[in-house]
Structures are given as C-alpha cells and as structure tokens.
Amino acid sequence: MYIVMLGAPGTGKGTIGKILSQDLNLSALSTGDIFREQINKRTVLGKKIQSYIESGNLVPDDVTIETVKSRLLEDDVKDGAILDGFPRTVAQAEALRIFLKENRPQAKRVAIELDVPDDEIIRRVVNRLICTNKSCGAIYNRETKPPKQVGICDICGSELKRRKDDNEETVTKRLGIYHQNSKDLIDFYRKNNALYSIYPKELDVAVKNIKEFLEEYRRK
Ligand code: AMP
C-alpha cells in the first residue's frame, strides 16, 4: 500500500508517518529529508535546491518528480511506502498516479490529510526540535514534548537542532504556499483515491484512528 500524507508543514506528517512506518513495516519516504541530505552532502542536486528550501519555496516539480521516481525504484519501497511531503502539487500527484499505475498496478493507494489550524501550526513549528542523528530523527517540541535534557535526544543522546526553515517568517510563507495548492490536491485525492481527513489533536488517538481506517481500507 502507498500512503500519501497530506497536510501543511508542522501538522505531524513526519511524526505520524514514522509511527505508521514502524507499525505497518513500510519505508517512509520524505522529500524534505531527501533534499536536506543532498544539501548537507553538497551534491549538484543539493546546490540546485538549497535556495528554494531555505526561502520556504517549493522545489520545481520536474526536479522533485525525478527525485521521487528514482527513489521509488529502490527495493525497499517496491510493495508500498509512506510518502511524507510528496506530492505537494497536482502535477506531482498526477506524476505519482501514472508512475504507480505503470509500475505497481496492483498496489492500493490512499491519502491521509492532517488538518490543523494555522495558528497552532506556527506554534508547533517554531518550537520544533529535531534529532541530528539521521537514523533516529526523533521530533520534539519545546512546549508540548520537551526532551528530558535540554538539547539532547531522549532516545539516542544526539544533539537536537531547529531546522533552518522553521522560523515564523518562513513557516508563514510555507503555509501560504500549502494553502494555494491544498484545495486542488485534496480534490485530486478525493476523486482518485480513498481520502481520510483528521485533526490530529492528540497523537495517540490520531494514530489509532488512522490505523483503523487503513485496516478497513486494506480489507476492502
Ligand atoms: P518538509 O520537510 O516536507 O517540510 O520540506 C521542506 C522543504 O523541502 C519545503 O519547504 C520545500 O522547499 C521542499 N520540498 C519538500 N517536498 C517538496 C515537494 N513535494 N515539492 C516541492 N518542494 C518540496
């Protein structure tokens, strides 16, 4: 099954995607993580996309689509994956639909929309802290889920950092861009796939409800 996580930045796509990935044994594929890794490694792609990401703009569709397609050809995602942060435009959604139809015709496809009010998103994102150890990647929040020791990951002991684009100005811009595309994107998935929308107020409850929905959908 391919599960697309839809939602503005800071709605919990990464956090919920990671939990689902472990519980359902599916690889999580985050375009934001792939792009940040390319920037850190200073690859040709990294240099090309850095300014888009740091200013809160979307990376152009052609670059994003090629990046995801080549990732989707890898072995660990051939039976399914959790897509976090992709698609973000209808052109990307259409490219994904065609790719899966051609390459994985039997696979079920479903979209989960995380719907959170904007003021709550801004509060969540400016307080977000992420574990710098990539194989851990745990996400904290200075207000709602602080680490036991300031700046240190509870799980692996690595340093916690804020993302460069998690400041109020850039978040507001990313939210604006999300809202420009989100209606069409949600309509796309409502027409083409099963779509489940939820306000993930409490993490445990949201995960439980999403898993129940997925289980029901899998049985259909
Ligand atoms: P994220 O980690 O999902 O918040 O993504 C961080 C940044 O990476 C975004 O603000 C965009 O600049 C870029 N990005 C991630 N996914 C996409 C996508 N599907 N299309 C275009 N740009 C993206």
Q: What is the CATH number of the domain that holds 43?
A: 3.40.50.300
99 found inside a domain:
yes
131 found inside a domain:
no
Each residue of 181-193: pLDDT tens digit?
Answer: 899 999 999 987 6
198 found inside a domain:
yes
Q: How far is the CA of 33 from the centre of ligand 1 (A)?
A: 9
Each residue of 56-102: pLDDT tens digit?
Answer: 899 999 999 999 999 999 999 999 999 999 999 999 999 999 999 99
Structural domain range at position 16 = 2-116+169-219
Distance of alpha carbon 87 from alpha carbon 184, whole angstroms: 12
153 found inside a domain:
no
66 found inside a domain:
yes
| Count of other CB atoms within 10 angstroms of residue 49 | 23
Q: How far is the CA of 11 from the centre of ligand 1 (A)?
A: 14
Mutate to test the pocket of ligand 1, among 53, 66, 188 (most ligand atoms within 8 A of CB): 53
Burial class of 151 by CB neighbour count within 10 A (0 to 12, 13 to 18, 19+): exposed
pTM: 0.87
162 found inside a domain:
no
Q: How far is the CA of 220 from the centre of ligand 1 (A)?
A: 32
70 found inside a domain:
yes
Q: Is 174 a catalytic residue?
A: yes
Number of folded domains that form the chain: 1
Please give all residues whose beta carbon lies within 6 A of any atom in ligand 1, as ranges.
9, 31-32, 35, 52-53, 56-59, 64, 85-88, 92, 165, 174
pLDDT along the chain (220 residues), means of 10: 94 92 94 93 94 93 96 94 95 96 92 94 93 91 94 97 92 92 92 89 94 90
Cα distances (angstroms) measured from residue 209 to each of 64, 66, 202, 215:
31, 33, 11, 10
| pLDDT value of residue 102 | 95
